[in-house]
Amino acid sequence: MIDEKFALLRTHRNNIDRYRRLLRTKLTDLERQFVEKRLSEEQTAMDELAAATFPVVFKKPASAIAVPTSAAGEAGHA
Higher pLDDT among residues 61 and 15, named by residue = 15
> Can you tell me the distance from the alpha carbon of 22 to that of 63, in angstroms, rounded to the nearest whole number?
51
pLDDT tens track for 9-35: 999 999 999 999 999 999 999 999 999
Task: Kindly report the pTM of this predicted structure.
Answer: 0.67
